[in-house]
Amino acid sequence: MSAITLTQEGTWLPADVQTPISLFLGLVGERPGILLESAEVDGRLGRYSLIAWDFRLRLRLKAGRLDVSARDARLAPLEAHTGLGFVEGMRAVMADLHVLAPAGFADIPPITRSLVGYFGYGLAGIFEPKLAPVLPPEEAEFCLVLPGRVVLFDHVKHRCLHLSLDEGKKARIEYANIFATMDRPVIGRTVNNPEAAGYMESVTRAKEMIRAGECIQTVLSTQFSAPFSGDPFVVYRRLRQVNPSPYMFFMRLPRVTLVGSSPELLIRCRDGELTTCPIAGTRPRGASPEEDDRLAEELLADPKERAEHVMLVDLGRNDLGRMAERGTVKVEKFMAVERFSHVMHIVSYVTARLKKGLDALDVLKCAFPAGTLSGAPKVRAMEIIGELENNLPRGPYAGCIGWIGLDEGAVNLDTGITIRSLWIRDGMVSWQAGAGIVYDSDPATEWKECQNKARVIAEVLAAKEEGDVFTY
C-alpha cells in the first residue's frame, strides 16, 4: 500500500472573547468530540488547549485484534489492516498515514497532527505475553481517532487555529447555541468493588506475598460504579474547576465517554527527548496553609513514602533505560512536593534521549503501564493485582490517555495516566483509585488513601444544584 499523506488547511482566528469551553460547546455540542486542556501545578492553564471532532478514522480492538474504520474515502485503504495484532496493526497504520501542517504553519505543535484517544490497562496483556492469563488480550480496550477538524487554542497569544483535513477548502467555523440546556448529571447508588473489608483483606494477602519475596510493591485498587444519566460535559466542567491538573480531558468517543483530570505524566517523547514523571507518596491537603506545610513536611519525612518513591523512580529510570541512548537517563527533579486540589504528592522527573530506530509503539510498550499503578517488579506485581483484584477489568483506569503524532520520520507522543478520572458506558459511570502496597503497609491506611484519591470524582458527580454554576 502506498502511504496516504493528508495536508491540513488552517485559519487563525481571534479568541479574546472565547474560552475552550465555549468553543467546545459551540463547535462540537453533543456530537462525538475531544477536549484536551492542561493546568500547571499552581492552577494556571498551560499554553494550549485542543478541541477535536469530525472523526475520519477510528482504531479500536475487537477480540484482541485491530479494527480500523474510515469515514473518509481517502483513508479507506487503511481498513485493510483490520484483523492484525495490535502492535503490528498500529505500526502498519502509522507507516501508511502522514499528516502535513498547512504551508506557513510549520511551527504548530505535533498534537494537531495526531491520533488521539486512550489505551486501557488491559493492553499490558498484549505488550507482555506473560500477563495474558490475568489480562486476556481479547478483553483489552483502546480507541484512537483521527479528527477531521481541530482547533488549537493559544492561551498566550489569545488566538486559536482552526485546522481541517479538507484540503483545498478554506476551514470554516460554524457555531451552535452554546446556551442550550444541558441535562444535569444524576447518579444512582454507588457500589464499591471490593468494599472496605475485602480490600483490606487483599492488602494483608499482598503483604504476605511481599514478605515471601514475590514482589517489592504492588498497587491494589477499588472500583466505584453507579447508574448515570445526564450530560457528561457538565461533570468535566465541574472537575476542571475543582481539580485543575496537567492532563485534563473530555473524550466523547463512539462507545465510551472519558472524563478526567490527571496529575501524572506516563511518557512523553518530543523529537526524541523522553520524559516520565513518577508520582508516589500521598497526603490529603490541609485545612490551612500551616497544616498544609506540616503535612508536606510529614510526607517527605515518612520513611515508607520515601522508600516507595525512590523505588518507583528507579523503575522509571529502568523503563527509560530500555529505550534510551546509553548514558542519557537523568533524574532532573527529585522528590518535590506538588499540591493538587484534594491531595499532595511526592514527584520526580526522569529524562533520556530515545535510541535511534525506535518508534512511538516502542516508547509506549516500554513505559506501559506506569509503575506507580502496577508495582515492582512490574510483571509479577501485575500478576498479583490480577489475582487479588479477582481479575476485575480495570478498563481505562491505570492505562493512559493522549496522542501519537503522524509527522513522517518523527517520534512524538504525550500520554497522561488515567487516574482521577471516570468513564461512562451503557448507562453506568465508573471510577477507580488505588494505593501502593509494601511490606509494612497498614490496610486501613491504604483504604483511606483510596478514598482520598477518589473523593474528587465522587464530589463532582454529587454536586448540589444550588452550588452548580456550570449548567445553563
Q: Which residues contact 383 (CB under 8 A, 6 or more apart)?
A: 130, 131, 133, 134
Selected catalytic residue, list 112, 372, 415, 418 = 372
Out of 282, 397, 399, 416, pick the active-site residue: 397
- Sign of the C-alpha dihedral computed for residues 399, 401, 405 and 410 taken in this order: negative
The pLDDT value given to residue 339: 87
> Is 158 annotated in the active site?
no
Given the residues 89, 316, 399, 436, select the one marked as catalytic.
436
Burial class (CB in 10 A: 0-12, 13-18, 19+), 235: buried
Measured CA to CA, the distance from residue 443 to residue 201 in angstroms comes to: 8
Residue 97: predicted pLDDT: 98
> 3-state class of 387 per DSSP?
helix
- Enumerate the β-bridge partners of residue 217: 376
Cα–Cα dist 203/222, whole Å: 11
Are residues 264 and 416 in contact, defined by beta-carbon separation less than 8 angstroms? Answer: yes
Query: Which of these, 433, 434, 398, lies nearest to 416 by C-alpha position?
Result: 398
**Cα distances (Å, whole numbers) of residue 161 to 16, 173, 367, 377:** 13, 11, 32, 45
What's the grid cell of residue 428? Answer: 453506568
- In contact, 143 and 255? CB cutoff 8 Å: yes
Cell 483510596 belongs to 450
DSSP state for residue 123 in the 8-state scheme: G
Q: One of 345, 353, 380, 394 is an active-site residue; which one? A: 345
- Which residues in 390-438 belong to E strands, given as ranges? 400-405, 413-417, 421-425, 428-437
Calculated CA dihedral for residues 382, 387, 392, 395, nearest 10 degrees:
10
pLDDT of residue 472: 31
pLDDT at 106: 76
Question: Which DSSP string do the residues of 284-343 spell out, in sequence order?
Answer: EPPSSHHHHHHHHHHHHH-HHHHHHHHHHHHHHHHHHHTTBPTT--EEEEEEEEEE-SSE
Going from the N-terminus, what domains does the chain have, and what CATH number goes with each? 4-176+186-465 (3.60.120.10)
The C-alpha cell that represents 57 in the structure block = 478514522
- Helices of type H across 389-464: 443-461
C-beta of residue 10 within 8 angstroms of C-beta of residue 162: yes
Respond yes or no: is residue 372 known to be catalytic.
yes
Residue 345 among the catalytic residues? yes
Which amino acid, one-letter code, is at 243? N
pLDDT at 16: 78
Residue with cell 479528527: 147
Rounded distance, CA 118 to CA 137, Å? 16
Q: Which amino acid is at 345?
A: H
For the chain (length 472 residues), average pLDDT per consecutive 10?
Answer: 93 85 93 93 72 98 97 98 98 97 90 98 97 96 98 89 83 58 86 97 98 97 97 96 93 98 94 92 90 94 90 92 96 91 88 97 96 94 97 96 96 97 98 95 96 92 57 33
Which among 218, 238, 420, 434 is annotated as catalytic? Answer: 420
Number of helices (H) and strands (E) in the chain: give both, helices first.
10, 24
**List of E strands, 202-264:** 217-229, 247-252, 257-262
Active site residue 118: no
Cα Rg, the chain, nearest whole Å: 22
Three-state SS at 251: strand
Q: What is the dihedral of CA 154, 156, 159, 163, to 10 degrees?
A: -20
**Is 0.85 topped by the overall pTM?**
yes
- β-pairing, 97-100 vs 114-119, is unpaired
- Is 436 marked active-site? yes
